[in-house]
Every structure is written in C-alpha cells, then in structure tokens.
Structure 1
Amino acid sequence: MSHATPSDIEVAKRRRWPLLAAIVAVVVIAASAIFYANARGDDRSFSTELEVATWSTDIAAENLLAYIAEEIAPDHGITIKPVKIDNLVEINRAVDAGDVAGNFFQHQPFLNDAIAANGFELELAAPVFTWDQASYSDKYDSWDEVPEGATVALRDDPAGQAIALLDLAWSGQITLKPGKDTVAGLPQLSDIESNPKNYEFVQVPIGQLARSLADVDVVVVHISDVYAAGLTEDQIIDRPEAPKGSEGGLVVSTRTSEDPNIKKLIETFSDERIAEFLETTDNDLIRDTLGPRTS
C-alpha cells in the first residue's frame, strides 16, 4: 500500500486551485449578471398601473399626458400615473432601470444623445406630437429688425442646437452646409455655411435658455420650455414649422417593450384620438405649443 508523500499532497492542492478559482469566477460572474440585470430592470414586469415621467418644466407635455391618462388609457386597460423628474439624465435612467414604465418629453435626436452618452437601451416607441419652436426677443419685432452682429442664444446640447439651426435656416437667417440641412444631418454651429448678418451665437443649457433672453437679442427655444420663464406670445418674432424627424413621444426600454402592459401603453400613445385632440383642444398650453405629428 502506497502512501502519499508531502510533495504529492502539495501537487494535488496546486492542481485543485485552478479548478476552484474557475468555479469562483463563474459564480462571481453569474452573481454580477443577476445584479446588473436587476439594476437595469431586465427582470421587471409591469402591472396595469404604469408610471410615465415628464420633465418637470415641460408644462405642455404634462398637460397632454394628463389628457391621455384620463381619456385614452382606460380604454386600453391600463392606468397611467404621471410623475415629474427634473433631471434630463435621470428621466431616461429611470426608464432604463425600470423605475418607471416610460417617459414623455423628447424627440429622437435628443434620445440619440442620451443613448450615446449613457448606454441606455431605450426607444421612441410612439411618436405623438411635434413641438412648436420660436424665436423670442424683447428688443425687436421681426428678424428684419434684428441688426448685424446681434447675439442669438440657442441650446448647447447637440439635438437642441440642431433644431434651432434648422429653424434659423428655415427663416433665412443662415445657410447650412450640404447634408446638414435635415434633422438626420444634426447640424451644429460648425456646420453654418453662411451667416449674412454676422450673428454672435451663444450656447446655453436647456434649463436656462428661456431665462437668458434679458442678456441677448434673440433666443431660439421650444415654446414648451418658456412658460416657467414667463415668456409670452407677444415676444415671438418668428415661428417656423417643426422640422421632420423632430417628433416627440413615448420612450420605453427596449428590454421591456414586449411586456404585455408596456404594449398596452404603446397602444395607448398610438391612439388616433390624440392627434384629433391636439388639433381641436381649447387648452392654450397645448394648442399654442404642440401639434399632431406629421405622417
């Protein structure tokens, strides 16, 4: 009968270590995957009561969401609970994590920026409305009155800046380089081909843009962003049509879009009665700010 020597025992231990290490690694990876999935809402299922978030200063979208919750959602077998989130990163993170069922405030270019910056797995599942955007001034009544070298403020984020530049091009104030004259082209200040009146452009964060009017000659901004700042219709000098591709609507997580109640939510926001409401409503906050999406 042979006996294991101390060296044999040491060799056996050394041989077991790689196996044990591999087992531990697999367990750790599996646990991490479960934690990550839970954190990202991968295993989240939704009831028929669904929270949908609007950005806290977007009064028009908030009013439209209230109409959808009261008049449309019950016919699709769900209850919508509107909530407000005042941070533009967190409002998308909440959907990505499964903390809310969706959000209702943004267009595809803005969503593209959020996805690129944060790795969110989100989709614009139901385009619903177009934003009216306008140029405001306390000093002038039209672009014809705005002098050479005037200061024009617009948003500092790529999506918002692109929409503003398209509006300025539509109004004949600038021209854009070839291929940059659509929402898909996502024009930025560097894409201006001509600036005949030598405007000085100032980039301002979205939450401060409307309030910057006192410091500049003209502000180009979504009308839905101006109410909290106290801007009014008589300060508008130009109001272009919303560029195609800038429609806003319901955003959901791509990981939960097959959930039965999320499908009902998407059906709710796709209901044709919303477009009719946008065309006929007496609610000034909605009628003067949002329009039905173009087909």
Structure 2
Amino acid sequence: MTNLTDSPADDIEIKKKKRWPWIAAAVVVVVAIAGGVTYAKLSNEDRPFGTNLKVATWSTDIAAENLLKYITDEVAPSHGITIEPVKIDNLIEINRAVDAGTVAGNFFEHQPFLNDAIAANGFHLTLAAPTFTWDQASYSNKYKSWDQVPGGAKVALRDDPAGQAIALLDLAYDKQITLKPGKDTIAGLPQLSDIATNPKNYQFVQVPIGQLARSLDDVDVIVVHISDVYAAGLREDQIIAREPAPKGSEGGLVVSDKHLNDPNVQKLIATFKDPKIAEFLQTTDNELIRNTLGPIS
C-alpha cells in the first residue's frame, strides 16, 4: 500500500521496483510456454513409436472405419503391434496429425487427395501401403440410367481437385463426356476445364464432399465415391451406374516420411500390406464394406 506522505518520485520508483520481478516472471513464463509447445511438437515428430500405434480415419468414412477394425482385430496382432483407431473430422487436421507425429498414420485417402494436401500445407507424407479401392457410382432420384438423363441436366461432383478428377473419369468411362488428351488418367488430374466434349451440355455443380448426398434433391445426378455418401443413407436403387475406381486412386495407409524407418511403423506398413486384407474384401459378409470397397487387383 502506498504511503500518502511519500513524494510522487519516490512512489514511481517504488512501483518500478515492485513491478519488475513480476514482469520478469511473466516473460519467463511466456518463454517457457513457447518453448514447451515447440519441444512438444518436435518431440512428437521425432520420437520413435511403440508397439501401440494410433491410426486415424476420417469421421464420416464408415467403410474405411469398418475395414480398419478388421485389420486391428485380425491382422495387426500377427505383426506384433496393436492398432488404436481414432477418428478425426477435419480433412486438413487428419493429415496434420500424421505429419506432427500425433498419430502413426491415417487410413482414408488416395494419392491424388494426398498430393493436394501436401501441395497446400507442405506436409511430408507417404502413401506407404495402398490397401483398397473405392467403388464409384452415379446416383439420381429422377432417372434410372444415363440414357434417361436429359440434355442440360445438373450433375454434381466434388469441389476438391482429386475428387473432381475421379468424377470426371467416371463420366468419361460412362461415355457422358470426353477429356482432353493427357487428361484421361488420374495422373492427368482432369478438372472441369479439361472437358473436351459435353454432348448433352450438362451443367456441372461443384459441391463440398460433406454436402454431396444432401445435394441430390437439387440436381439430377451426383457422381461420387459410394463411401462418401453411404453414411447419409443413399440407397442401391438410386444408383444409375457403377464405375471402376481409376487406377492410381487406391486408398490406404499414409505415414510421415520422418517415421518411415521406425521399426514399429515398418510393422504397421507390413500389416496394411498383408494379403489377408484383400481376401477379406473379396469374401466379407459385412454389407457396408462389400458395397463400397474392393481389393486392389
């Protein structure tokens, strides 16, 4: 408490002396916190993994989630590891978690989508074990086949480059469009500007992945991975055409480049390459998996 009889100059000097230790302490705390965050991040990135490894799936891809459960229960133990499945609902954070070492890998994406994530965020990630293919399909509430779809119809597809490329390859496979030379494979990553001919003059609508199923009432057709919309309740009788997954769009285990040589990550990769998985995909009674995913030929 300040003495009212002290001079103003003395008061200022006393306040300076009293405040300095608190300011210094605050600076130390801030530096310590910042250092702790940096250390935690670096230690996560660089430390080796144990035999219990977290693997993330995207929260709405229930087909990959179901397949991961089979791998966790029936395949991983024979490779000397335990998989701990986790769900992440953000398509950027699910890759960031692998890049930072928060999880050992993720299990939800193909190489074209991974390429987009790397280019946009500078991640250092590798699709180390392609494991399955996604079944593709075109859905409609109004028509039963492409022959019935009229000229000028609205066709919805994903708005991200990788998802859009696969949808356009599906449309080309169904002979609804043609693509420019060099743009007719997944490596060409075709986009709407790469359509060479559009005989029925379709109007293309670009929709975020999470909204495609809901957009079906507002358009004539959507073209999509079946697993993207399965959880939303779209039915088999809404499918007007099935398309094969384009070569190069196989999904699988993604790991950080920094951990490729980690012995337990190597065991994780071997787990996802196990031939039991392809056999399971061909023979499973799990309708969800059978209707949406396939083995790599």
Q: TM-score, normalised by structure 1?
A: 0.87
Question: 1:196-225, CA deviations, whole angstroms, 9 ceiling, x for partnerless residues?
Answer: 000000000111112110110000011101
Equivalent AA in structure 1 for residue 169 of structure 2:
L
Deviations 1:109-163 (A, max 9, x none): 0000000000000000000000001000000000000000000000000000000
Partners of 1:143 and 1:181 lie apart in 2 by 20
CA distance in 2, matches of 1:113, 1:243: 17
More helix by share: 2
The 1-side partners of 2:207 and 2:41 are apart by: 37
- Residue by residue over 1:235-282, the C-alpha shift from the partner in whole angstroms, topping out at 9 and shown as x without a partner, is 000001111000000000000111111000000000011000000000
Whether the 8 Å contact between 1:40 and 1:96 is mirrored in structure 2 is no
Q: Is this contact kept in 1: 2:58–2:89, CA < 8 A?
A: yes
2:152 equivalent in structure 1: 149
Residue in structure 1 matched with residue 38 of structure 2 by the alignment = 35
Q: How does 1:13-32 map to 2 (within 5 A)?
A: none
How far is 1:228 from its partner? 2.4
Residue 237 of structure 1 aligns with which residue? 240
8 A contact 2:186–2:248 mirrored in 1: yes
The 3-state SS of whatever aligns with 1:68 is helix
- Between the aligned partners of 2:230 and 2:188, the Cα distance in structure 1 is 29
Contact 1:41 1:96 in 2 (8 A): no
Query: Are 1:171 and 2:177 counterparts?
Result: no
How far has the Cα of 1:40 moved from its partner? 8.0
1:39 deviation in Å? 4.1
Over the matched positions of the two proteins, sequence identity in percent amounts to 78
Q: What does 1:92-241 align with in structure 2 at a 5 Å threshold?
A: 92-241=95-244
CA contact (8 A) 2:45 2:99 kept: no
User: Which of 79, 87, 93 is the equivalent residue of 1:76?
Assistant: 79
Stretches of structure 2 that go unaligned for 5 or more consecutive residues are 1-33
Counterpart among 84, 88, 105 of residue 85 in structure 1: 88
Query: Is contact 1:37-1:43 (8 Å) kept?
Result: no
Count matched residues: 264
What is the CA RMSD across the aligned residues, in angstroms?
1.6
Aligned to 2:16: none
Aligned-pair CA distance for 1:44: 2.0
Task: Return the alpha-carbon distance in structure 2 between the equivalents of residues 57 and 37 of structure 1.
Answer: 29
Which consecutive residues of structure 1, in runs of 5 or more, have no partner in the other structure?
A: 1-30
Comparing 131-140 with 223-232, which one deviates more in the overlay? 223-232
Whole-Å Cα distance in 2 between the matches of residues 57 and 190 of structure 1? 30
1:37 is displaced (CA, Å) by 8.8
Equivalent residues of 1:40, 1:97 under 8 A apart: no
Match of 2:70 among 53, 63, 67: 67
One-letter amino acid matched to 2:266:
K
TM-score of the aligned structures, taking structure 2 as reference length: 0.86
Deviation for aligned residue 1:229:
1.5
Tell me the residue number matched to 1:58.
Answer: 61
How far is 1:73 from its partner?
0.1
